[in-house]
Structure 1
Amino acid sequence: MSQIGHLTLKEIEEQPRVIQKTIENSQIFDEIAEKINKLKPELIVLTGSGSSFNAGFASLYMLNQVAGIPTWVVHSSEFPYIIEPILKEKRHLLISISQSGESPGTVAAAKFAESRNISSIAVTAHPESPLAKTCSMVLPLITGEELSVMATKTYMAQIAALIRLAITMGNFNSDIESSYLKELLNSLKNVPTEITKMMTPLKTTIKEMSPCYRFAKHAFILGSGPDYATAMEAALKLKEGARITAEAYSAPEFRHGPITLADEYTMILGIIPHSTSTRFNSVNSLLEVVKQRHTSILGITPEQDLPYEFLIKMPHLHEELSPLINIVPCQILVHDIAKNKGYDPDNPKLLTKVVSEE
């Protein structure tokens, strides 16, 4: 029993090094950003499946705000129906995300782009994979082999790489101050240190609270802005590893129907931004309403004094970088709940590392 989940936990602990290694080669990011600038795409489309889609969603905010190019993300399974009809040569750019570089739908999307002379970037940990060989550019993830079926460090590397690329692309955006880009880049480079500092206290705190969720069957994960993507990834991990039926919502959307399901039998995980954020009141006021339904609330937040049953204190970073920090306690929580239930998060039921059919 003590050995189940050891691969997942080990790979969670490796994430600071993975981020550092993935973003440290400035030359790769400079070269790709320069090529994108020469292309001058009117639209960037990100595509992927599962955690790779969620990583694309988390990066979407930075690409729109800092790179200044309209960007959207779509599941690779929906790519043929939503994106193929509108992709145009020299006007659009495709970024295909797959840790293995073998996901059929993601590879198919890249092949379609190449067949139409549309530039494409492979974001993958395997530079010799079918995806990498198909795309005209490769953004490598320096992760080492990920042995747990549940993606943790590869998810983190995907976000780090795409955010690093967005910051570099910002150098070509006249609307963005160079001092702001420098500040963002320094903050990104500091993320591994922040995760390392919080890792041991996090594991201790979550080990104490996780038994309270052993019998949880239903959960809602609420976030906003970039942390809506964090909520999506946390919900996926709760389903995969802990076998909890979990749904993610942008916090304001939760009021439009799903809030009626919040009761004393429901686990609520709220990702609450710093009080200086424009999103703070939206998320916090919702959780205060939900609390009146006697729902168990776990808050992940840089705020110290919020009146919820459980709080996990997080560092205060740029909002755009928060997905790199806030997913870590969610990963550890899933690992611990799974072990408490006797499930092995390294090998979730019916799952494989690479989905070979879609």
Structure 2
Amino acid sequence: MPFSPSPYELDINDQIVALDAQLSYSLPAQLSALDLGSYDRIVLTGMGSSDYTALPIERDLLARGYPVWRIDAGRLLDFPQLITSSTLLWVTSQSGMSGEVVSLLAQLTGQRQPKTLIGVTNDEESTLARAADILVALKSGSEATVSSKSYINTLVVQYRIALALLGEDEAPLLAALRTFREPMAHLIANQAAVQQLVDQAFDNGEPRLALVGIGADGATAMTGALILKEACKVMAEGYLSGEFRHGPLETSGPGMLALLMGDGSDGTLQVLAKDLRANGTTVVTLGPQAYADSQLLASEGQHELLRLISGILHIQHFTVSIARARGLVPGQFLYGKKITVTL
């Protein structure tokens, strides 16, 4: 019996329209005028997937020698001294109304008032939008439940802002994203490979899921685990690089589905994939090439950002297939809400 698509699935299908809106949006000119060398530090903050989208930016800026802290807004409330009057504070909140972000903004007075506040949000009338010195809009449109199109647009915006701050031309990136529209549509429509994996995973009871990402792909691992919990109510955990070996490895073996994410060149995930396959774990690679002959859900395009978008699209298929297998409406909240305002 066919299912009627849930609001979450309709949002997934609307992701190309949302991306087009972002690509048609011009960034504020003030971004290019900022001198990163004039700040004592750059603080990247947000909650949940808004925080994780900054992970690739943190890596890039650190590699260039800038003093960068990526710290979620909840923890930043405990370390307000990290913000000084010479700080570039880059706050991301898809709603612009997350409880931790609103509380943080209320504390930005006196010596805690940053030199510049960049606000990234979808709601241009939100608390974050009103507080920002430079407002960057996501242009992802309304979203019913679990983040899908807003996450992809946030990823794109973070890369665009970074290029503007570094004085680099964004035209090649925008061209790559426009070329990516057709492969992206194919990825959104093609759920068959993921459905087969989910069917196999449920043959022996409900699966355990581990998502391990290395480098920029850590953003996909962390966000993927988050939306799996939200959209299909399974216990999925995200790990960065070698974290999985420090304890969680003992939970692997038959019944675990491990999703490994990277550019295919890293030896750490190559060895991990080999060890996991040897102990009976089902291993799947999300990326350009498989680790240790595991099953591959291929990414599209050469740019790092396109790989990250491809990865999250595959994981969205997992959220829908697993929810259906468990008799749930994909993306439907049972206890929480779209905007988390409670601290």
- Greater mean alpha carbon deviation, residues 320-329 or residues 338-347: 320-329
Go from structure 1 to structure 2 and tell me whether the alpha carbon gap of 1:79 and 1:242 turns closer, same or farther (over 3 Å shift).
Answer: same
Relative to the length of structure 1, the TM-score reads 0.86
- 1:319 corresponds to which of 304, 310, 313: 304
- 1:230 corresponds to which of 216, 220, 229: 220
Please state if 1:110 is matched with 2:105: yes
Match of 2:68 in 1: 71
- 1:41 corresponds to which of 39, 42, 61: 39
- 1:268 corresponds to which of 258, 276, 279: 258
Q: Which runs of 5+ in 1 are unaligned?
A: 173-177
User: Residue 57 of structure 1 aligns to which amino acid in structure 2?
Assistant: L
Please state if 1:338 is matched with 2:319: no
User: Residue 144 of structure 1 aligns to which amino acid in structure 2?
Assistant: G
Match of 2:17 in 1: 17
Compute the displacement of 1:129 (Å).
Answer: 0.9
Match of 2:48 in 1: 50
Compute the displacement of 1:306 (Å).
Answer: 5.3
What SS is found at the alignment partner of 2:280?
coil
Match of 1:32 in 2: 31
- 1:242 corresponds to which of 213, 220, 232: 232
Compute the displacement of 1:127 (Å).
Answer: 0.5
Go from structure 1 to structure 2 and tell me whether the alpha carbon gap of 1:101 and 1:305 turns closer, same or farther (over 3 Å shift).
Answer: closer
Equivalent residues of 1:219, 1:266 under 8 A apart: yes
Equivalent residues of 2:98, 2:341 under 8 A apart: yes
Compute the displacement of 1:216 (Å).
Answer: 2.8
Relative to the length of structure 2, the TM-score reads 0.89
Match of 1:357 in 2: 342
Match of 2:280 in 1: 294
Please state if 1:194 is matched with 2:183: yes
Go from structure 1 to structure 2 and tell me whether the alpha carbon gap of 1:69 and 1:39 turns closer, same or farther (over 3 Å shift).
Answer: closer
Go from structure 1 to structure 2 and tell me whether the alpha carbon gap of 1:322 and 1:59 turns closer, same or farther (over 3 Å shift).
Answer: farther
For the residues of structure 1 that align with 2:181 and 2:331, how far apart are their CA atoms? 23
Equivalent residues of 1:46, 1:94 under 8 A apart: yes
Go from structure 1 to structure 2 and tell me whether the alpha carbon gap of 1:39 and 1:250 turns closer, same or farther (over 3 Å shift).
Answer: closer
RMSD of equivalent CA atoms: 2.4
Compute the displacement of 1:311 (Å).
Answer: 2.3
Go from structure 1 to structure 2 and tell me whether the alpha carbon gap of 1:41 and 1:17 turns closer, same or farther (over 3 Å shift).
Answer: farther
Per-residue CA deviations over 1:85-132 (Å, capped at 9, x if unaligned) read: 13211x211112111111121122223235533121211111011111
What SS is found at the alignment partner of 1:240?
helix
- Greater mean alpha carbon deviation, residues 213-222 or residues 57-66: 57-66
What SS is found at the alignment partner of 2:330?
coil
Per-residue CA deviations over 1:204-232 (Å, capped at 9, x if unaligned) read: 32233322234434211111001111101
Aligned length: 339
Compute the displacement of 1:323 (Å).
Answer: 1.9
Compute the displacement of 1:2 (Å).
Answer: 4.6
Go from structure 1 to structure 2 and tell me whether the alpha carbon gap of 1:204 and 1:29 turns closer, same or farther (over 3 Å shift).
Answer: farther
Match of 2:95 in 1: 100
Per-residue CA deviations over 1:13-49 (Å, capped at 9, x if unaligned) read: 22223223213333x2433232x32883232212111
Go from structure 1 to structure 2 and tell me whether the alpha carbon gap of 1:61 and 1:5 turns closer, same or farther (over 3 Å shift).
Answer: farther
- Greater mean alpha carbon deviation, residues 323-332 or residues 183-192: 183-192
The sequence identity of aligned pairs, in percent, is 23
What SS is found at the alignment partner of 1:85?
helix
- 2:133 corresponds to which of 107, 131, 136: 136
